[in-house]
Amino acid sequence: MTEDAGRLRVASALEATGAYDGPVDLDLGNLAASDPSPVDPDVFGRAPSDSATAAAISRGRDVLQRLVADLFTLPSEADVNGRYVELPAGETPFPRTKPLPPTEKPMTKWEKFAKEKGIKKRKRSKLVYDEQTDEWKRRHGYDRVKDADRIIIADAKMSDVPGETEDPFTREERERRERVEKNQGKQLKNLQRAVATHGKHVLPPTLQMSAAPKKGVKALPLNGMKKQQIRDLTAQVAKSTASMAKYNAPIPGDEKIKTRGRRRQFDSVTDTGTERERAQGFIDKLVRREKDFTVDVNVAARKIQRAKEAENRSAKKAKLAEKDSRSGGGGGKHGKSAAGLKVKGMKGKKGKK
């Protein structure tokens, strides 16, 4: 094996290693090799599995040896740790699991205009001199310069007519609200142009999450949704507040969204089996409760005895009262009536005849 200017002869390398000399597709940049020749059915198809496996291992070893032999033919340089070579660029394209990230952020309408006109962006100072207070204040944020909320006196024009001209503070608030809406519209148009040019992946993550449907739910276009589906979606959005749409501000022209409660489920009047099972369960519950309850026999006997005695006394009193009513209301032995009460004008002595 001879070396000529850092290169080895391929023929001598193959002879020394006994590598595979058939057609081979080599990709030295990715250290990959493949055999494009057709498969021999006698060796790999009809042969037993053990011999086919041994033949595949042998062919793979020879092809790998061919790859190693070609690596030794590349220009090499000496180093303290040995010789090393620089691999060429890979030739086999490999698929990606995810799309390539955008090389550059899509330009907005203003960025395109500034590039065409040669307008360069310069960093502005965060502080601005305020002529009214004679101080340096922030350009934006708290205690900023020309804060509309801190303006107490507004300059009037000579053409202003009291009672007819719009209030300057109301006008400033309206113009500020219009500027915010205009900027939001421009931002939305920039996003629409970016999506049309580069796809949805250029959207911010928050917008991607809001535009994507819930996991497991099929997204429906609004123009293809039915009337009831739109109503359900509107009710769902309206109820997604802290008060469950109870204290939502009314929208002019829209009907009040009714919150749907739980629908009552009535039992069937024809299914006797369910009713029988429910009654049986109620009885079993009572029986289990009675089993846990212990009865004191003596206490129960005394209660029954007292009840009988009270019943006998009541019957005896009723019998005496009836006897007294039949006899004309005469007194008893001690001057008492049949009911056991003292009669008016009589004392507890024997009456004279």
Q: CA distances (Å), 21 to each of 15, 63, 68, 150, in order?
A: 10, 8, 13, 88
Question: What pLDDT, on the 0 to 100 scale, is given for residue 236?
Answer: 80
- Decide if 158 is inside a domain: no
Residue (of 75, 77, 78, 69) closest to 12 by Cα position:
69
Question: What pLDDT, on the 0 to 100 scale, is given for residue 22?
Answer: 78
Can you say whether residue 310 is alpha, beta or left, with left for phi > 0 and alpha for psi between -120 and 50 degrees? alpha
E strand spans, the chain: 3-4, 7-8, 25-27, 32-34, 76-79, 82-85, 127-130, 135-138
- Give dist(CA 234, CA 239) in Å, integer: 9
Q: CA distances (Å), 196 to each of 112, 202, 221, 222, in order?
A: 16, 10, 18, 20
What is the number of domains present in the chain?
1
- Give dist(CA 131, CA 145) in Å, integer: 9
Q: Do residues 41 and 112 make contact, with C-beta atoms less than 8 angstroms apart? A: no
**Beta bridge mates, 46:** none
Return the C-alpha torsion angle 134, 135, 136, 140, nearest 10: -90
**Beta bridge mates, 102:** none
- Decide if 167 is inside a domain: no
- Locate tokens 């006994």: which residue? 18
Query: Count of CB atoms within 10 A of residue 186's CB?
Result: 13
pLDDT tens for the chain, 353 residues long, are 444 444 444 455 455 456 677 788 888 888 888 888 888 777 777 767 788 888 888 888 888 888 888 888 888 888 888 888 888 888 888 887 777 776 777 888 888 899 999 988 888 888 988 887 888 989 888 888 877 667 777 778 888 888 888 888 888 889 989 999 999 999 888 888 888 887 777 777 666 655 555 566 566 555 667 788 887 887 787 778 888 777 877 777 666 666 666 677 777 777 778 888 888 888 888 777 666 556 667 888 888 899 999 999 999 999 888 888 887 655 444 444 444 444 444 454 454 44
Give me 240's structure tokens.
């997604």
- Give dist(CA 175, CA 180) in Å, integer: 9
Side chain identity at residue 179, one-letter code = R
Residue (of 346, 325, 345, 322) closest to 335 by Cα position:
346
Residue range of the domain that includes 48: 3-85
Question: What pLDDT, on the 0 to 100 scale, is given for residue 339?
Answer: 44
- Decide if 52 is inside a domain: yes
- Decide if 110 is inside a domain: no
Question: What pLDDT, on the 0 to 100 scale, is given for residue 269?
Answer: 75
Q: Between helices 109-117 and 168-198, what is the axis angle to 10°?
A: 90
- Decide if 34 is inside a domain: yes
Backbone angles phi, psi at 47, to 5 degrees: -70, 160
- Decide if 190 is inside a domain: no
Residue (of 23, 33, 13) closest to 90 by Cα position:
33
Q: Do residues 66 and 33 make contact, with C-beta atoms less than 8 angstroms apart? A: yes
pLDDT digit string (tens) for 36-85?
888 877 777 776 778 888 888 888 888 888 888 888 888 888 888 888 88
Question: What pLDDT, on the 0 to 100 scale, is given for residue 96?
Answer: 77
β-pair type (3-4, 127-130): unpaired
CA 314 to chain centre: 76
- Decide if 50 is inside a domain: yes
Question: What pLDDT, on the 0 to 100 scale, is given for residue 311?
Answer: 92
Question: What pLDDT, on the 0 to 100 scale, is given for residue 218?
Answer: 60
pTM of the model as a whole: 0.31
pLDDT digit string (tens) for 208-250?
655 555 566 566 555 667 788 887 887 787 778 888 777 877 7
- Give dist(CA 224, CA 227) in Å, integer: 10
One DSSP character per residue, 147-162 reads -GGG----PPPTT--T
Question: What pLDDT, on the 0 to 100 scale, is given for residue 70?
Answer: 86
Question: What pLDDT, on the 0 to 100 scale, is given for residue 313?
Answer: 92
- Give dist(CA 241, CA 249) in Å, integer: 11
Q: Do residues 170 and 162 make contact, with C-beta atoms less than 8 angstroms apart? A: no
Question: What pLDDT, on the 0 to 100 scale, is given for residue 231?
Answer: 79
- Decide if 10 is inside a domain: yes
| ∠ Cα 51 52 57 (to 5°) | 95
Length of the chain: 353
- Locate tokens 């204040």: which residue? 137
